[in-house]
Structure 1
Amino acid sequence: MSFVTGTTTAARTLLRTSSTIAAAQIHTGPSAAVTSACTAVSIRRIALTTTPGVRRSTVAAAAQVSGSRHTFSTSARHFQDQPNNKSEADNSGAGELATRELPLSPYGGRFGVPEQPMSTKSIAQAQANNGRRSPFSKAKEGVKNKVHDWTDEKKNLEKRKELLHDFQSGYFAEFSELSKTGSKLWKATSNMINADKALYMPNIIGTSLKTSEPVELVDLLRGKISLMAISGTRFGEEHTESYMTPFLKRWPMTVANNSKVQLVELNIQENPLKAGLVRMMVPFVKKTIPEERHENYMLHYKSIKHLKDPLSMQNSYLGYVFLVDSNCKIRWGAHGPATEAEVKTLLEIVQKLSERGGR
C-alpha cells in the first residue's frame, strides 16, 4: 500500500514539476537560471515526499524531462554544473598541453659545468707535485674544514634548502609531474653550441659493465666524439633508444672500438634499494646489452643531485642524451622521446664534428 501511495505521489509531483518547468521557460528574462532554480526546488520536494525505493527513478525522470545540464545529488541535496560533453574538457586540456611553449634549458640552451673535468689520477698526480704531506696534517685539515662547515651560516642555509628540496621533490612528485608536463620539459637547440660557449661534462665515477671495475667518465670521453645516454628507468631507456638507434645505424659500435665516434651509456641508480637490485641483476644486464657496448656502459649507484641542475635533468624518470666533443664539452643535448627534427640535428652535428676532428 505504501508503494502505491508513493508512486501516485511521485507521479503527481512529476506532473507539477513539468508544468513548473514549462511555465518557467515561457517566462521572460534569464530562462536558463529560472529553469534550473525551479527544477532544483521541484526535485528537492520529490526527494522529501517519496519513498526511498521510488526516489531515484523519480528524480532521474524529472531531470530527463527538464532537459537540464545539471547533475543532482539527493543525499547531499545540492547540484553542480558540469559540461555537456566530457570530451570537451579533455580536448581543452590536451590543447593546452599541445600548445604549451617549451623553454630552453638552463644557461641559454647550454649544459654542463664551467670547470674542466679531471680524473682522480690527474688530481692525485697534481697533489703529489705540490709536495707530500703527512697523514696527521691531512686529518687536521679535514677536521678544520668540517668545523668550518658546521659554523658557517650560509652553508647551513644551503644544506637546509637542499634537504627541503629533496623532501618535496621525491619520486612520486616527479611521476605526477609527467602527467602535467608530458615527456618534454625543455626544447633542444636546433644547432650546435659553439665551442667557446659550451660547458664541460662533469666527471662521474662508476662501474664498468665489462670488467666490473671502477671507471671514470672523463677517461671514456676524452679524445672522442661521444653520444652520451643517461637513464635510470625503463621508461627513460626507451627515450634514449630513440636517439641511439639512428645514431648506431650511421656509426655502429665494434668490439675493438677504434672509431672516433662512439656511444657512452650511463645507468644511474640513486635509490639505495633499487641500486642493490640492479647490482644483483648485472649478469642479466650483460645479456640484454650487446657485447660491443659493454666497455662504454657505466653503472652509477650514488646520487647526482648536485649535477641535475647543470645538466637540466629535472626528472629522474626521463632519458637524456648529450653530444660531447673530444675536449669533454657538451655541444648539444635533448631528452624525452626523440622527434624527427632532433634526430636530424643530432646526426648533422656529429657529422660536422667528425669533419673538424672532434672540435
Structure 2
Amino acid sequence: MLASASRSRSTLVAAVASCRTMRAQPGIGPTTARISARSFMTQPPTSENTTEQNSLPLSPYGGRFGVPEQPMSTKSLALSQANSKRSPFSKAKEGVKSKMHDWTDEKKNLEKRKELLDDFQSGYFAEFSEINRTGSKLWKATTSMVNADKALYMPNIVGTSLKTSEPIELVDVLRGKISLLAISGTRFGEEQIETYMKPFLSKWPAGTSKVQLVELNIQENPLKAGLVRMMVPFVKKTLPEERHTNYILHYKSIKHLKEPLSMQNSYLGYVFLIDGNCKIRWGAHGPALEAEVKTLLDSVQRLSERGGR
C-alpha cells in the first residue's frame, strides 16, 4: 500500500511539474487575440510543406482575370434601366413573383440548402487547411501582362470610402488611370500585398496623377465586418493620409467574383494591375517573388508610356 501511495504521489508531482513547464513556454496557454488596424483574423498556420518556388504552377486562365462585361457604375446602370421600355412597377412586380416562387419551390430550397452547406464545408476551415498543406503561394504570376485586346474587365464593387465614409464605386476610382489594386481581408493577406505595394509606391508614390494604388479591404464575415467598422477611426490614424482617398472597405460577400478573379482563398492577399479602361492586365497573389515585382514595375512603366492603354 505504501509503495502504491508513493507511486501515486510521484505521478502527481510529475504532472504538476509538467503543467508548470507548459505555462512557462511561450505560445502555450491562454492566447491574446491580435486585432489588426485594418482587418481582423486569426493567423493561419505556417506550413512546413511550403511549395518550392520553381515548382509552382503558372497562374490560372493564362493570366486572364476578370469578366467579359465592361463595368458600369450604379448610376449608369440605373439610367440604362430607366431608359428601358418596361416600367419600374412591372419590374418590381416581376421581382416579387420570382421571390414568391423561390420560397414555395422545394427544389430551389434544397439547392439553397446545398449551397449553404457547401459554403460552410469549403469555408474558412478548408482555406486554413489549404494554406497549411500547400503554403501561402498557390501559383506564380505570368512574366508579362495580357494584351489589351485579350484582357478582361475588373467588375465594379460598391464600398465605403475610408476618407469620407460615403459610398464609393470601384469603377469610378479605376477609370482613366493605371492602378495597382491590392485586395485583402486579413492581416495575413495584408502582409502579402505589402510586398507588392512597397516597391510600387517607391516608384509611384500615392498622389501620382496617372498611376495610383487602390486598396480594397473586403470583410465577408458579419462579425469581422462589425469589428473592422468599429476600428475605422484607428485605421485613419495609422494609414498615411495620402492613401485614404483610394482606400475602400467592402462589408459584403464577393462569392460571385472569386472564380473569375481566382480569389478562392480568403486568407491570401491579391493584386491586379488595371489599365485606364478597367481591364486587368496582370495579377498575382501571396508573398511577391522577385520576378513578379520586376514584371509588375516593368508593366506599369510600359502602360504609363502608352498612356494607360
TM over 0.5: yes
Aligned residue-pair number: 265
What is the aligned partner in structure 2 of residue 230 from structure 1?
183
- Cα RMSD after superposing both structures: 2.4
Write out aligned runs for 1:207-356 (5 A). Answer: 207-254=160-207, 259-356=209-306
Question: What is the aligned counterpart of 2:69 among 90, 115, 127?
Answer: 115
Worse overlay, 279-288 or 163-172: 163-172
CA deviation map 1:64-107 (0-9, x unaligned): xxxxxxxxxxxxxxxxxxxxxxxxxxxxx75x832783333332
What is the aligned partner in structure 1 of residue 25 from structure 2?
none
- The unaligned stretches of length 5 or more in structure 2 are 8-47
Amino acid aligned to 1:263: L
What is the aligned partner in structure 2 of residue 106 from structure 1?
60
Cα distance in 1, alignment partners of residues 64 and 287 from structure 2: 20
Secondary structure at 1:311 match in 2: coil
Cα distance in 2, alignment partners of residues 189 and 157 from structure 1: 41
Question: What is the aligned counterpart of 1:124 among 73, 78, 88?
Answer: 78
Deviation at 1:213, TM superposition (A): 0.1
Secondary structure at 1:97 match in 2: coil
Amino acid aligned to 1:299: L
Amino acid aligned to 1:295: T
Deviation at 1:118, TM superposition (A): 0.4
What is the aligned partner in structure 2 of residue 199 from structure 1?
152
What is the aligned partner in structure 1 of residue 32 from structure 2?
none
Cα contact 2:268–2:286 (8 A) shared by 1? yes
Cα contact 1:194–1:331 (8 A) shared by 2? yes
Cα contact 2:59–2:141 (8 A) shared by 1? yes
- Does residue 181 (structure 1) correspond to residue 134 (structure 2)? The answer is yes
Secondary structure at 1:298 match in 2: strand
Amino acid aligned to 1:291: E
What is the aligned partner in structure 1 of residue 10 from structure 2?
none
Write out aligned runs for 1:10-29 (5 A). Answer: none
The sequence identity of aligned pairs, in percent, is: 81
Amino acid aligned to 2:70: Q
Decide which structure has greater helix share: 1
Cα contact 2:62–2:142 (8 A) shared by 1? no
What is the aligned partner in structure 1 of residue 119 from structure 2?
166
1:340–1:298 distance in 2 versus 1, CA, 3 Å: same
1:154–1:357 distance in 2 versus 1, CA, 3 Å: farther
Deviation at 1:171, TM superposition (A): 1.4
Cα distance in 2, alignment partners of residues 102 and 157 from structure 1: 39
TM-score (norm 1): 0.69
Deviation at 1:230, TM superposition (A): 0.2
Cα contact 2:51–2:137 (8 A) shared by 1? no
Cα distance in 2, alignment partners of residues 231 and 102 from structure 1: 22
Cα contact 1:225–1:260 (8 A) shared by 2? yes
Cα contact 1:105–1:111 (8 A) shared by 2? no
Cα distance in 2, alignment partners of residues 194 and 224 from structure 1: 17
Cα distance in 1, alignment partners of residues 54 and 99 from structure 2: 46
Secondary structure at 1:114 match in 2: coil
Cα distance in 2, alignment partners of residues 268 and 120 from structure 1: 19
Deviation at 1:147, TM superposition (A): 4.4
Amino acid aligned to 1:237: E
Larger relative contact order (Cα-Cα within 8 Å, sequence gap ≥ 6): 2
Secondary structure at 1:337 match in 2: coil
Cα distance in 2, alignment partners of residues 173 and 198 from structure 1: 31
TM-score (norm 2): 0.79
Cα contact 1:227–1:324 (8 A) shared by 2? yes
- The unaligned stretches of length 5 or more in structure 1 are 4-51, 53-92
Cα contact 1:106–1:310 (8 A) shared by 2? no
| Max Rg structure | 1
Cα distance in 2, alignment partners of residues 280 and 121 from structure 1: 29
Amino acid aligned to 2:232: V
